[in-house]
Chain A
Amino acid sequence: DTGVSQDPRHKITKRGQNVTFRCDPISEHNRLYWYRQTLGQGPEFLTYFQNEAQLEKSRLLSDRFSAERPKGSFSTLEIQRTEQGDSAMYLCASSFSAGAETQYFGPGTRLLVL
């Protein structure tokens, strides 16, 4: 079991550029979540998928953010026209939808927008 993986682990970009992050969930997990964590705070929910369907999006997810999960496997999170306020750790978690649905987290992608 390789766990949840995220790529890249670190990303530095200039304001106005687009960035894309990838998350590979645990293979048998059908749910995939994206969270954002700023320094010294707890993670905040962004969006989640069940299989390939995006079931919920937070109000935090502005129009500049888009997420996909083609074929219900890996997921990508794209941020267009990045702003300095987008600087944060982006966490991915996956789970299997049954009972106490424990979410397992990846190592995160740390984004710095200059």
Chain B
Amino acid sequence: AQTVTQSQPEMSVQEAETVTLSCTYDTSENNYYLFWYKQPPSRQMILVIRQEAYKQQNATENRFSVNFQKAAKSFSLKISDSQLGDTAMYFCAPQGFSARQLTFGSGTQLTVLP
């Protein structure tokens, strides 16, 4: 079983600034993956970044990077040089090796202000 907590229901950031979204999770599996997805208003879910839990190195994808703390079961997302198009709901989701479905948190609504 997996649970996910995203403690920031809403956040805002000025364009070009940096923002960090937090996520903590719990899982009964020893091996798993972690994902961040974004869901823009009235648009479909898009993968932002993924992290293999067995890798110590934090994943990076252009302006997006994660801070993965396995012992603390924390998986935060940092967005650098925020752009207006980053405005969306962001979801953290672990995926176990045995239970393949994603377990989503309640999301963080990020608004990038001009």
Asked whether A and B interact, the reply is yes
- In the complex the two chains form, what is the Cα distance from A40 to B41 in whole Å? 11
Q: What class of interface size applies to chain B in its complex with A? A: 20 to 34
In the bound complex, residues from chain B placing their C-beta under 8 Å from that of A93 are: 45, 102
Contact status B104-A43, CB under 8 Å:
yes
Candidate in A31, A41, A97 with the most chain B CB atoms within 10 angstroms? A41
Residue from A56, A103, A108 in contact with B102 in the complex, judged by beta carbons closer than 8 Å: A103
Contact status A104-B104, CB under 8 Å:
no
Q: Is A85 an interface residue (CB 8 A)?
A: no
Q: How far is the CB of A48 from chain B (nearest CB, A)?
A: 6
Contact status A44-B44, CB under 8 Å:
no
Candidate in A42, A43, A93, A107 with the most chain B CB atoms within 10 angstroms? A42
Contact status B45-A91, CB under 8 Å:
yes
Interface members, chain B 22-61 (any A CB < 8 Å): 33, 35, 37, 43-47, 50, 52
Residue from B52, B91, B100 in contact with A42 in the complex, judged by beta carbons closer than 8 Å: B91
- In the complex the two chains form, what is the Cα distance from A12 to B59 in whole Å? 42
Contact status B44-A42, CB under 8 Å:
no
Interface members, chain A 78-114 (any B CB < 8 Å): 91, 93, 97, 100-108
- In the complex the two chains form, what is the Cα distance from A48 to B101 in whole Å? 8
In the complex, which residue of chain A has the Cβ closest to the Cβ of B101?
A: A45
Q: How far is the CB of B29 from chain A (nearest CB, A)?
A: 14
Contact status B107-A48, CB under 8 Å:
no
Instruction: Give residues in A with beta carbon < 8 Å to B.
Output: 31, 33, 35, 40-45, 48, 56, 58, 91, 93, 97, 100-108
List the 5 shortest-distance A-B pairs measured between CB atoms, nearest first.
Answer: A42-B104, A105-B45, A45-B101, A107-B44, A100-B33
